[in-house]
Amino acid sequence: MFDLAFLVAVPFWALMILAPRWSWTGRVVGSPFIVVPPLLVYVVAIAPILPEFAAEMLRPDVAELRELLGTADGTTAVWAHLIAFDLFVGSWMYRDSRGRGISALVVSPLLVLTVVLAPFGLLAYLAVRALYRRDQGMIDSRPIGSSSSATSAAPLAPVTMVTSSPSSRVRMPWMTTCSSLSRSRTGRSPASALPSITNMCWSSIVWWTSSTRQNWAQNAPVAR
């Protein structure tokens, strides 16, 4: 069982490291169920010592926990636990790097490091990740290989608000503002939406002032 925990994870690591651009790699690694095989090994290994292990988790004691994990079942359970969560971290690194356009030549060595020393591999990837800025809006959860053109589409045309008087029209850039705010949520600075918000507020004030003035003129009493 100890060796099986790593063997069931090897195919997924091999896909991410050796064939990162293969279409099937994205489909397979995009599923969260790739961690199920090592988790099943964990369940089988922990089952014989589950009552003792649960008691130690509720009230941990260093000496007793060391003795429990020193058994064959305890060591196998911890090993399978590490394999499953390392694979989960590695799959996130792979999907995130593909979405951000980070070269596989950079990510593959970091995935190898994650297999051996996962905390160091994750820290190294986070450092690399910070150096890459999104050129276009991107959402981490979108499918791998999907085009980013949908998030970089041109903003929609402003909507015209018509008052009670046909001659009084004020162009309200509601759609432009919403589009700017949407892009700011997907990786761009929120400051990019400030000009549209300012324009929207100013246009609202102009429309309200014009509408109020016309209503007052229409309802004002006529002097005789």
Range of the domain at 191: 159-219
What is the rounded CA–CA span in Å between residue 167 and residue 171? 13
Whether residue 65 is found in the same domain as residue 107: yes
Does the structure show a pLDDT above 70 at 79?
yes
pLDDT score of 202: 59
Evaluate whether residue 183 is within a structural domain: yes
Instruction: Tell me the mean pLDDT in the region 190-198.
Output: 52
Evaluate whether residue 152 is within a structural domain: no
pTM: 0.59
Evaluate whether residue 110 is within a structural domain: yes
Q: Residue 101: CB partners within 8 Å, gap ≥ 6?
A: 132, 135
Evaluate whether residue 154 is within a structural domain: no
What is the rounded CA–CA span in Å between residue 107 and residue 90? 10
Instruction: Tell me the mean pLDDT in the region 71-85.
Output: 94
Does the structure show a pLDDT above 50 at 144?
no
Alpha helices in 101-150 (DSSP H): 104-116, 118-131
Does the structure show a pLDDT above 60 at 136?
no
Evaluate whether residue 147 is within a structural domain: no
Higher per-residue confidence, 184 vs 83: 83
Whether residue 120 is found in the same domain as residue 203: no
